[in-house]
Amino acid sequence: MTTKTFGILTSGGDCPGLNAAIRGVCRAAHDRYNMTVIGIANGYRGLIDGDARLLKPSDFSGILTRGGTILGTSREKPFKERDKATDAEIGEDKVEVIKDTYRKLNLDCLVVLGGNGTNTTGHLLSEEGLNVVGLPKTIDNDIYGTDMTFGFHSAVTIATEAIDRLHSTAHSHNRVMIIELMGHKAGWLSLYAGVAGGGDIILLPEIPYEISSISRHLLERARDGKSFSIVVVAEGAVSRSEAEMDKKARRKHRTKTAAPSIGYRVAKEIEEATGMETRVTVLGYLQRGGIPSPWDRVLATGFGTAAAALLAAGDYGKMVALKGTEIGAVELSEVAGRTKTVPADHYMVDTARSVGTCFGDS
């Protein structure tokens, strides 16, 4: 079977590179394989609302460097709509509505650009009989089965520029500057931006920290005449004691310390333990904004054209993936329900330790 008409949607957190990927899929599919492209608005929500339109070449031309997504996105999880109290299906069965829209639009395939949740939903829909091809998108780089996701490199670039700027103000004020980065439950973004920005301390979800280790490192730096330090904290980082708690206990524990997020909690602990003046920057959504880096433009375009080739071959149920320097594909069933976190013995962790970076664990 080959693909004559396909739908394309972007789902989950936006990131630079989404439009480059849309352009890659659509231009290759239309120009090389003569396919018809249906744009679906706002992720899976658009399939539920029937919010779809024919995309013309002018729609996917000139968008390589545009941030965000021309299609819009949402965090709609159609398989997750269950009533928490009774665990019963609520509202109309969204999955049946999606399948009905897929048929009404006369789609041969659905191309989904997204993170873990999006590709997991794509896999579940393929189990419901839809043809699905996925592309790995997220600034978190936490999708199993691919060495890198598009969006990650742009976020590392943005975060590194921010860390560079913090060095000058930290030095001027002899302060400890904390920068809290995104990454959800994985530490890839903080690890790579921390190394790129020369972070003195990097705290990752995968390596629970002890405040005693952090303060010892800061005091040693002060004794060596380094009057300032940069601490890169992943939003999912946890202390050793918190790592041993379940979700409920951790939430209860955190209500005791009135801090809006992990960066502020760590700052309070550092000031209490060392007396050093500490300030916090939460970089937030800036990591998801603006234009894609050149590498992300290349990666997203490569993923897009590889997805178009899967469509032409009728090779469904797969997610395109980067393996080393090659773009291939993995089964969506392999990706679904999994997250790629930083192994504590990852070479980049060892690289950072080799240049004196502290992970709060020694």
Q: Which residues bind ligand F6P (CB under 6 A)?
A: 13, 75, 115, 138-140, 182-184, 235, 288
Which tokens is 333 given? 């069933």
Q: Which is nearer to ligand F6P, 37 or 336 (CB)?
A: 336
Question: Which residue type occupies 243?
Answer: A
Of 105, 106, 97, nearest in space to 78 by CA? 97
Kindly list the strands in the beta sheet with 229-234, ordered across the sheet, starting from the edge strand earlier in the chain.
201-203, 229-234, 176-181, 278-282
Which one from 14, 87, 93, 140 is the annotated catalytic residue? 140
Which tokens is 136 given? 């790995």
Q: Is 164 a catalytic residue?
A: no
Q: Which is nearer to ligand F6P, 308 or 336 (CB)?
A: 336
Question: Which residue type occupies 292?
Answer: P
CA 154 to CA 40: how far, in whole Å? 25
To ligand F6P, the closest distance from the beta carbon of 236 in angstroms equals 8
Neighbours of 191 (CB within 10 A): 29
Q: Which is nearer to ligand F6P, 117 or 197 (CB)?
A: 117
Q: In this structure, is the dihedral angle defined by the CA atoms of residues 224, 227, 232 and 235, taken in order, positive or negative?
A: positive
Which tokens is 82 given? 């269950």
Is the CB of residue 149 less than 8 Å from the CB of residue 138? yes
Q: Which is nearer to ligand F6P, 190 or 229 (CB)?
A: 190
Say what angle helices 294-313 and 18-27 make with each other, to 10 degrees: 40
Q: In this structure, is the dihedral angle defined by the CA atoms of residues 39, 41, 44 and 45, taken in order, positive or negative?
A: negative
CB contact set of 176 (below 8 Å; sequence gap of 6+): 170, 218, 228, 229, 231, 267, 270, 274, 276, 277, 278, 279
Neighbours of 3 (CB within 10 A): 23
Is the CB of residue 24 less than 8 Å from the CB of residue 303? yes
To ligand F6P, the closest distance from the beta carbon of 30 in angstroms equals 29
Q: Which is nearer to ligand F6P, 44 or 102 (CB)?
A: 44
Q: Which is nearer to ligand F6P, 153 or 288 (CB)?
A: 288
CA angle 248, 250, 252 (to 5 degrees): 70
Neighbours of 244 (CB within 10 A): 11
Report, as residue numbers or ranges, the catalytic residues. Answer: 140
